[in-house]
Amino acid sequence: MAVNQLRSIETFLKAVEHGSLRGAAAAQGVTPQAASHALAQLEEQLGVRLLHRTTRNIALTQEGQQFLEATQPVLAALERAVQRVRTSKDEIAGQLSIVGPRSIFLPVLWPLLEEFGRLHPTVQPDVNLDDKRANWVTDRVDVGFRIARAPEEGLIARRLFPLQLITCASPAYLAAHGAPRTLEELVFHRCSVFRHGGTGRALPWYFKVDGEIVSRDVPPALSTNIAELEVEAALAGQVVALLTGVSAAAHIRAGRLVPLLTAHVTDDIGIYVYYGSRSAQPARVRAFIDLAIERLAGSADYVLSAKELAAAEAKGLKAISRRRRPEARRAVKARG
């Protein structure tokens, strides 16, 4: 049913309610001429006369009485539905659809969800983490997160923080195998390779060299599509891994992992939050976006400065050098 037809029906009902077309026009905020035209259009579309009318009075025809009895409950239900939607738009309640990349985002998303749940317990988050790129429209997404170099055209997006790619190894691995000092030396080490969860493709390692981003294929001692498994393998001293700042920052700061080749750390891609038009968003969606931006935009929790990376690398390599010197002396004595 066209909007104009609905308005004409409303004019008919208001005319009956107020006893005149002038009263209907005043109730709808239109001119008496516009109200009369709307009623005439409705009668023409239906092919019957609904009202007997003079300059002062109106009266229902038989067909008008039947039409009134049929449309009154329908229009009343429609008005209630409109009012419910308007009310719910301002309530922080209901289902909230969230999508994001599974491979790295869980450590970031859960603290956000946990805090939002405490603040707004009547919201029911529906979370789908998948490395395949979601379609914002067909998947009916309220809020999404993406790893990208720039926001996709047609989406409203806000960059939250850069996603660093950091070569890491544990002190145990470095004590046993030493550290790669150049990119070329990586081929002599046990490296892990990440497989994209959506395509299954083994991803190369990315580095910054002379201001440009270059890719290198490394020999895989381990390949997986689970970021957490790469982290555990690196912590256990099994591999050298190229980890995101999301996965590695806390371990580096605690000394459990040592950043390597820090001059080549990349940060050209970022984590973005994206959403539809803010003017049409329910309050629950606006509240979640605001919290995400407040907690994550510019956050240092998952990003290490160049100075911090260099200091952690120097400290880790120095500690390993001190541990290896006694072992070397013992080896010399044993050979002598």
Q: What is the pLDDT of residue 330?
A: 46
The pLDDT of residue 335 is above 60: no
Q: How many CA atoms lie within 13 A of 289 on its CB side?
A: 22
The pLDDT of residue 326 is above 60: no
Q: Mean of the pLDDT values across residues 242-262?
A: 96
Model confidence pLDDT, tens digit, residues 105-131: 788 899 999 999 999 999 999 998 877
Closest to 193 (Cα-Cα) out of 219, 171, 166 = 219
| Structure-derived torsion over alpha carbons of residues 248, 236, 197, 220, reported in degrees to the nearest 10 | 110
The pLDDT of residue 134 is above 50: yes
Complete domains list, the chain, with CATH: 3-89 (1.10.10.10), 94-163+270-296 (3.40.190.10), 165-268+305-335 (3.40.190.290)
Quickly list DSSP for 159-228: EEEE--EEEEE-HHHHHHH----SGGGGGGS-EEEEBPTTT-PBPPEEEEETTEEEEE---EEEEES-HH
Model confidence pLDDT, tens digit, residues 202-221: 899 999 999 999 999 998 99
Q: What is the pLDDT of residue 209?
A: 96
How many whole angstroms separate alpha carbon 132 and alpha carbon 135? Answer: 10
Q: Tokens 């914002």 — which residue?
A: 136
User: Percentage of the chain surpassing pLDDT 90?
Assistant: 47
* Burial (CB count <10 Å: 0-12, 13-18, 19+), residue 287: middle
More confident residue, 251 or 200: 251
Confidence of residue 278 (pLDDT cuts 50, 70, 90): low
| Helix spans in the chain (H) | 3-18, 21-28, 32-46, 62-89, 102-119, 171-177, 227-235, 245-253, 283-296, 306-335
More confident residue, 316 or 323: 316
Q: Cα–Cα–Cα angle for 250, 256, 261, nearest 5°?
A: 85
Q: What is the mean pLDDT of the chain?
A: 85
Cα–Cα distances in angstroms (integers) from residue 297 to residues 98, 300, 317, 326, in the given order: 18, 9, 32, 46
- φ/ψ of 163, rounded to 5, equals -105, 105
